Chain A
């Protein structure tokens, strides 16, 4: 049907170039043998080797990973709970307000989220460090998890839960044994999303961190201000790889789950008529 046209090909190329050219250049230069960022001097992995010998970077990486794991896990638990309430509870007083308040951080400028969290932490006298970054990341990634999980729950057949109750489950057991295994793909992709969001956050982390905890984005940002080094390119390439793997896995899980769900729904709907 759709024929090849130069116009389409050109717009596609331009669009993708616009999106990915900067990253491609970064990746290429991370394998540059020269210390000068703009001069190509042959292929080398020395910057990666150096990177893994730099204790400061390793510390920052470790902080980042811990923050991402903890915050995405907490966000997944809270986000799933919020989604269940929103989808299940039907219409209750203040439902619109409640759901609005959960989704508001999605559109809130990060600077404002960061600043308000900073003020809160100062206000209650919390020492800033890993713990505060985890809290901060949980607050904003939780809404993403809850969006992903509620879109899955919206099509979840409630009679499955009722069947579980009917067969003797407590409401919590019904959730754990029936609902959770069925919506697991959505929960996992929510977790991956939260994880990658936490990995690449700079603004909120800068506001809520203390001297003891430097995350990779913060580290990169401050290093770049002293000049772009090939090491940073190498580090960024690694982060691109991790984020790409996370996002691709999440979308694959979602896609596979959609197929399973369509199949199960076909099985659940009775062949009437």
Chain B
């Protein structure tokens, strides 16, 4: 294992900062979190990703102390935090609604947590100034929350939760209110702050791009369960289920029946069509229905039949989505299924030769897709 790569989850010696041990949370008869176990390590930027209502906020609220686990335990630095009230946890949360105090100025909002620590005035003042500089809010220190813009409010909320230098910072969809450009800027700002302060971040988002950008690891959730916990590249390149593959990014899914032939798997997906060949990363149970998943950017498109590729699909272009830097071709193959192929637009639009209703060949290598069991 390399020394420079940050991957404490691969090191069995490393003690996690947060441990969810078989945590179940029920609201009445509804199970919001279902027997969930998870380790998060110090200095991680951990992203919780999942559709609305899957239990992300509930996980955060349990960490912050606003909800108690119905079953199981949550440990922070090895200590069960169940009985510790929110005001005694070294955890701060940035609320989904920001929850800025409307009657206090930006300065007082940021100082609020520090004042509870019975620090002296100079120390508080110095810390607040530092936070204001970090979030570029110095000019707005005297304003009330209703006198600043949405993006500035979001930064106040961030500064306020950072001010106490918590061991663990919880960010519940912190960037949802921002437009795309500001959001991207803030993502890098967050990563920068995280690097500078060494705080452990847990961020909730339903924006998969955001999770991929900022996170050291991503947990994909569904209905109170973790589906996959891995680094962004593994989540993207090697999803462990159709759910994850489909949730993260764009993907082509082809269902079929598999047979093992040596190292490779042969997937018969349609009558009279050449099979798809894939080299699986691990053992695959060919008795079960399989789905072959491949990202559009890994599918090449050409008018002439490429001779060197093992996997070839013939079809007709029915739609082209031009996105500026890339184009996505929607190709109808045998059986009526649509496969998406993406190419970088290295040439001007007028110079490209593939157009609507063209017969084209789609091709990909044996290792560019993954086989998923049902």
Q: Does B associate with A?
A: yes
The answer to whether A271 touches B116, judged by C-beta atoms less than 8 angstroms apart, is no
| Complex Cα–Cα for A159 and B64 (A) | 12
Report which of B95, B99, B146 forms a contact with A263, defined as CB distance below 8 A: B146
* Cβ–Cβ contact A167 & B64, under 8 A: no
| Chain A, 169-227, CB within 8 A of any chain B CB | 169-170, 173, 177-178, 181-182
B367 in the interface, Cβ–Cβ < 8 Å?
no
* Smallest beta-carbon distance A153→chain B, Å: 15
Nearest chain A residue, comparing its CB with the CB of B154: A270
Measured CB to CB, the closest approach of chain A to B113, in angstroms, equals 3
- Does B6 touch A at the CB level, under 8 Å? no
B302 at the A/B interface (Cβ < 8 Å)?
no
**Cβ-closest chain B residue relative to A180:** B103
A181 x B98 contact (CB < 8 A): no
Judged by a CB distance under 8 angstroms, whether A163 is at the interface is yes
Q: Does A8 reach chain B (CB closer than 8 Å)? A: no
A181 to chain B: which residues have CB within 8 Å? Answer: 103
Q: Does B176 contact A (CB under 8 A)?
A: yes
Chain A CB within 8 A of B30 CB: no
Closest to A270 in B: B177
Among B93, B102, B164, point to the contact of A264 (Cβ < 8 A): B102
The verdict on B24 contacting chain A, using a C-beta distance below 8 Å, is no
Are B86 and A272 neighbours in the complex by a CB distance under 8 Å?
no
Q: Digit string of A38-51 for contact with B (CB within 8 Å is 1, else 0)? A: 00000000000000
Evaluate contact between B102 and A268: CB separation under 8 angstroms. Answer: yes
Asked if A267 contacts B102 (CB within 8 A), the reply is yes
A36 contacts B by Cβ under 8 Å? no
A167-B116, A168-B117, A170-B87 known; A157 and B97 CB under 8 Å? yes
Most chain B Cβ neighbours within 10 Å, of A159, A166, A168, A178: A166
- Assess whether A60 is interfacial by the CB under 8 Å rule: no
Whether a CB of chain B sits under 8 angstroms from the CB of A269 is: yes
- A165 and B86 form a contact (CB under 8 A): yes
A37 within 8 A of B: no
Residues of B within 8 A of A166 (CB): 64-65, 86-87, 91-93, 113, 161
Q: Are B177 and A163 in contact (CB under 8 A)?
A: no
How far, in whole Å, are A170 and B164 apart by their CA atoms in the complex? 16
B87→A268 contact, CB < 8 A? no
How far, in angstroms, from A267 to B106 measured CA to CA in the complex? Answer: 13
- Kindly identify which residue among B66, B102, B113, B176 contacts A167, using a CB–CB cutoff of 8 Å: B113
Which residue of chain A has its CB nearest to the CB of B177? A270
Q: A164: which B residues are within 8 A, CB to CB?
A: 101, 112
* Residue of A163, A178, A263, A264 with highest tally of chain B CB at under 10 A: A163
The reply on B330 being an interface residue by CB < 8 A is no
User: Smallest CB–CB gap between B60 and chain A, Å?
Assistant: 11
What are the 7 A-B residue pairs with the smallest beta carbon separation, nearest first? Answer: A167-B113, A168-B116, A264-B102, A270-B177, A267-B146, A163-B99, A159-B99
Residues of B within 8 A of A (CB): 64-66, 85-87, 91-93, 95-103, 112-113, 116-117, 145-146, 150, 153-154, 160-161, 164, 176-177
What residues of chain A have their CB less than 8 Å away from a CB belonging to chain B? Answer: 157, 159-160, 162-170, 173, 177-178, 181-182, 260, 263-264, 266-272
Task: For the A-B complex with A165-B87, A268-B145, A270-B176 known, give 10 more contacts whose Cβ atoms are closer than 8 Å.
Answer: A159-B95, A159-B96, A164-B112, A165-B85, A169-B87, A181-B103, A182-B103, A260-B102, A267-B100, A267-B146
Q: Can you identify 26 A-B contacts, CB atoms within 8 angstroms? A: A157-B99, A159-B96, A159-B97, A160-B101, A160-B102, A162-B99, A163-B99, A164-B112, A165-B65, A165-B66, A165-B85, A166-B64, A166-B65, A166-B86, A167-B113, A168-B113, A168-B116, A169-B116, A170-B87, A181-B103, A264-B145, A268-B99, A268-B102, A268-B145, A270-B176, A272-B177
